[in-house]
Chain A
């Protein structure tokens, strides 16, 4: 029932749940969320997350051995193997020389076949770039549990999207209000629809807005598809930039982005 912009929850929520928020700020936050259903829902969600982790703790894997240590150990093993082999060969009784002399090697070494790789002309490099671009629509997983999206336009848009009706999806998603919870997701799926339809400039502009909104569930995917748009536009600099940023987020697209970055480079 307050006019909330969410900044208080952003600032306080995690520390409040962990009991690390100073008492004065904790009281201020409590007075706020008692009258703000949105922030109360955030508190409840965070409490559910904590309760879930308490009941089903995540096993922490042992950290990988750092390279200097691992490298040292590998070097030691390799050195021991070399010493072992050398010692074995030194002390092994030499076989008697065969009675017949071994003929010299027969014939010269055949020359390498000519390389089948074509020289890289600028145009073929560009074509190769655009062939790398993945312009297929990412799959949208509709929530299967209780409570579909509250926004009918978003829901209709995503139904159309799931049926590969990009025009219908764009039309419905364009009606999602800017302040709606699904606004950013709407922008993202609009962007990929535009990309899929070949409107690369429009897709780039839309996906950039998603990226500019900062940390969000769609940011990593937006960066990845911005890289795809750049590839399709044969802009290797932009593609490398967006792929590197995708990788830096270490999310679901990291591996794919790495593969593509290697190819682009």
Chain B
């Protein structure tokens, strides 16, 4: 993957499309290892998306399982025509699951699941998540008190910098600046320490 750092964007995208095509073809042929690879490839982005959309970790865990199972079942049946659009397909399945949940306010039970689906109950993902949260708390506690307050008022209370500035009797520009800086400090810290494998993409002109 590190080698991809020097690849051009076209080559990187081409490799990604080839990998997607391999997964789709292999799952359609009943390859269980490919199903496990598929789960490893998509469980994190699916979870991140569902958590951002639902803000409910328990519901996210349930829906994540449903999404991955439903996607695997569909791939086994060969329902994806354009294999290179595997990511878009998984996102579509996730949106359907979410929409169904919000329409009926309960998880869909219509899916007939086969018995031989891969085991998704690995605890490592949960451990990673807890570790990230601990890192985030460590990073937050290392911030200046006012920065912590600004993060709380922004991310949890959903207040705009102007309102926060008024409440903390500060200049709105200072609030904006401090919010940006504090957010970056924490996310960079968490990202840097929680990444277990190198990023598999090229970073162009990005300063962190």
Interface set of A (CB-CB < 8 Å, partner B): 1-6, 14, 16-20, 27, 30-31, 33-38, 40-58, 60-61, 63-64, 66, 143, 145-147, 149-150, 179, 181, 183-184, 213-217, 219-220, 248-252
Q: With A and B bound together, what is the CA distance between A16 and B51 in angstroms?
A: 11
Top 9 closest pairs, chain A to chain B, by CB? A3-B9, A48-B132, A1-B16, A45-B190, A45-B187, A52-B136, A58-B152, A48-B136, A6-B206
Contact B132 A45 (CB under 8 A): yes
In the bound complex, do residue B138 and residue A145 qualify as a contact, i.e. CB atoms below 8 Å apart?
A: yes
- Residue from the list B44, B144, B154, B183 in contact with A250, Cβ < 8 A: B144
Complex Cα gap A177–B148 (Å): 33
Query: Quick one: closest A residue to B17, CB to CB?
Result: A1
Nearest Cβ on chain B to A81's Cβ, whole angstroms? 28
By the criterion CB–CB under 8 Å, are A14 and B183 in contact?
yes
CB neighbours of B183 from chain A (8 A):
14, 46, 49
B61 adjacent to chain A (CB < 8 Å)? no
Given contacts A50-B156, A58-B151, contact A44 B208 (CB under 8 A): no
Q: How many A-B residue pairs have CB under 8 A?
A: 199
Question: Can you list 19 A-B contacts with CB-CB less than 8 angstroms, sorted by A residue number?
Answer: A1-B15, A1-B200, A5-B205, A16-B52, A27-B91, A31-B88, A33-B48, A41-B194, A45-B190, A47-B48, A49-B139, A53-B140, A58-B151, A63-B169, A66-B169, A179-B204, A181-B192, A184-B207, A250-B144
Q: A5-B203, A52-B137 are in contact. Are A19 and B52 (CB under 8 A)?
A: yes
CA of A17 to CA of B187, assembled, Å: 13
When chains A and B are docked, how far (Å) is the Cα of A216 from the Cα of B189? 12
- B195 CB → nearest A CB, Å: 6
CA distance A55 to B181 in the complex (A): 22
Across the interface, which residues of B come within 8 angstroms of A179, CB to CB?
A: 203-206
B-side contacts of A30, CB under 8 Å: 45, 49, 91
> Taking CB as reference atom, which chain A residue is nearest B148?
A58
Whole-angstrom distance between the Cβ of A211 and the nearest chain B Cβ = 12
Q: A51 vs B132: C-alpha distance in the bound complex, in angstroms?
A: 10
Tell me if B193 is interfacial: C-beta within 8 Å of chain A: yes
A45 touches B177 (CB 8 A): no
Residue of A nearest to B4 (CB): A1
Question: Could you say which of B8, B144, B188 contacts A217, with CB atoms under 8 Å apart?
Answer: B188
Which residue on B lies nearest to A36, using beta carbons? B201
Proximity string of chain B (137-164) to chain A, C-beta cutoff 8 Å, 1 when within and 0 when not:
1111000111011011111101000000
Q: Known pairs A37-B201, A53-B151; list 15 more (Cβ under 8 Å).
A: A2-B9, A3-B13, A35-B87, A36-B201, A44-B191, A49-B183, A49-B187, A53-B156, A56-B137, A56-B140, A57-B156, A61-B145, A63-B168, A149-B192, A220-B181
Say whether B129 faces chain A, with CB atoms less than 8 Å apart. yes
Task: Please indicate the chain B residues that have their CB under 8 angstroms from the CB of A53 in the complex.
Answer: 140, 151-152, 155-156
Classify the secondary structure of B's interface with A: helix
- Interface digits, B34-76 against A, CB 8 Å rule (1 contact, 0 not)? 0000000010110011011101010000000000000000000
Given contacts A146-B193, A215-B180, A251-B181, whether A49 and B207 have CB atoms under 8 Å apart is no
Q: Which of A31, A34, A44, A49 makes the CB contact (< 8 A) with B140?
A: A49
Contact A44 B181 (CB under 8 A): no
Which of B45, B133, B205 has a CB less than 8 Å from the CB of A33? B45
B151 near A60: Cβ-Cβ < 8 Å: no
A18 engages B155 (CB within 8 Å) = yes
CB atoms of A1 and B206 under 8 A apart: no
Cβ contact within 8 Å between B187 and A46: yes
Inter-subunit contact B196/A147 (CB<8 Å)? yes
Q: Complex formed: what's the CA distance from A149 to B189 in Å? A: 11
Quote the shortest CB–CB distance from B153 to chain A (angstroms). Answer: 7
CB of B144 within 8 A of CB of A252, answer: yes
